[in-house]
Amino acid sequence: QVQLVQSGAEAKKPGASVKVSCETSGYTFINYGINWLRQAPGQGLEWMGWISPYNADTKHPHKFQGRVTLTTDTSTSTAYMELRSLSSEDTAVYYCARNPPIRGHYDSSGYWDYWGQGTLVTVSS
Amino acid sequence: EIVLTQSPGTLSLSPGDRGTLACRASQSVRSSYVAWYQHKPGQAPRLLMYGASSRASGIPDRFSGSGSGTDFTLTISRLEPEDFAIYYCHVYHSSQRALGGGTKVEIK
């Protein structure tokens, strides 16, 4: 069965970086995109970016460009999200989510059919 | 940039009631690339619908989706106790990506 298992909770100081992993199983990793989203306390879901494990292409909303790095390790079927220059506003639960390549491996279109369990990142001095 | 507005913000209903959740887009959605998710506290979101009206694997048939253009609807025909949650709509074309602010379905 398809599974996305994320790394554990993190506590960080302002200005630090965090790297969250998303280990996948039960499907062919390079055939599906991986998205990262977050939910801050009391807020809705926010999309942070997409990566194609097929060719390492990435897409981000302008808000996160330059501060987020998405990578994958195809040898372990794992995706990673690194967020730099953390502030208290980055305190949130972070999710990875898979998307079928409905318009091919070079296009980030797609709904999110399987999700990781979420990783709480707390930023506090 | 496309903006999604979900209404109402909160829906107070009783088990057995019918729930109708709306999602309005600021521009016409290409190819009806609209999905709906259910999100409960402490859990990952769950895909309910995609392509506006296609039910995801394992989703009960009391959930249905409809709409085209700028107006989309998620209907829960008879609310079960496990359906009380927050629901999000999502436009997933790469040139129109957006998430709605959510509708909370709470027990009346």
Segments of chain A assigned E as strands: 3-6, 10-12, 18-25, 33-39, 45-51, 58-59, 68-73, 78-83, 92-99, 114-115, 119-123
Task: Note the pLDDT tens digit of each residue in A69-97.
Answer: 999 999 999 999 999 999 999 999 999 99
Whether the pLDDT of residue A23 is over 90: the answer is yes
Q: Which of B50, B53, B89, B104 to mutate to test the interface with A (most CBs of A within 10 A)?
A: B50
Interface check for A82 against chain B (CB to CB < 8 A): the answer is no
Whether the pLDDT of residue A65 is over 90: the answer is no
Determine contact, residues B33/B96, Cβ cutoff 8 Å. Answer: yes
A20: confidence class by pLDDT, cuts 50, 70, 90: very high
What per-residue confidence (pLDDT) applies to B48?
Answer: 98
What per-residue confidence (pLDDT) applies to A107?
Answer: 86
Residue B26 burial (CB count, 10 A): 13
Residues A6, A98: Cα–Cα separation, whole Å? 13
Interface check for A112 against chain B (CB to CB < 8 A): the answer is yes
Q: What value does the mean pLDDT take over residues B49-68?
A: 97
> Which residues of chain B neighbour A33 with C-beta distances below 8 Å?
none
Average pLDDT, chain A: 96
Q: How many CA atoms lie within 13 A of B70 on its CB side?
A: 8
Whether the pLDDT of residue B75 is over 90: the answer is yes
A106: confidence class by pLDDT, cuts 50, 70, 90: confident
Determine contact, residues A41/A91, Cβ cutoff 8 Å. Answer: yes
Whether the pLDDT of residue A39 is over 90: the answer is yes
Q: What value does the mean pLDDT take over residues A41-59?
A: 95
Q: What value does the mean pLDDT take over residues A5-20?
A: 98
Task: Note the pLDDT tens digit of each residue in B12-49.
Answer: 999 999 999 999 999 999 889 999 999 999 999 999 99
Interface check for B14 against chain A (CB to CB < 8 A): the answer is no
Residues A43, A58: Cα–Cα separation, whole Å? 25
What share of chain A in percent tops pLDDT 70?
100
What per-residue confidence (pLDDT) applies to A102?
Answer: 86
Please name the member of A47, A108, A111 whose beta carbon is closest to the beta carbon of B50.
Answer: A111
Whether the pLDDT of residue B88 is over 90: the answer is yes
CB contact under 8 A, B94 and A59: yes
Tell me the longest C-alpha to C-alpha distance in chain B.
Answer: 39
Q: What value does the mean pLDDT take over residues A102-120?
A: 92
Q: What value does the mean pLDDT take over residues B42-69?
A: 97
A61: confidence class by pLDDT, cuts 50, 70, 90: very high
Interface check for A116 against chain B (CB to CB < 8 A): the answer is yes
Interface check for B53 against chain A (CB to CB < 8 A): the answer is no
In whole angstroms, what separates CA A38 from the centre of its chain? 8
What per-residue confidence (pLDDT) applies to A104?
Answer: 83
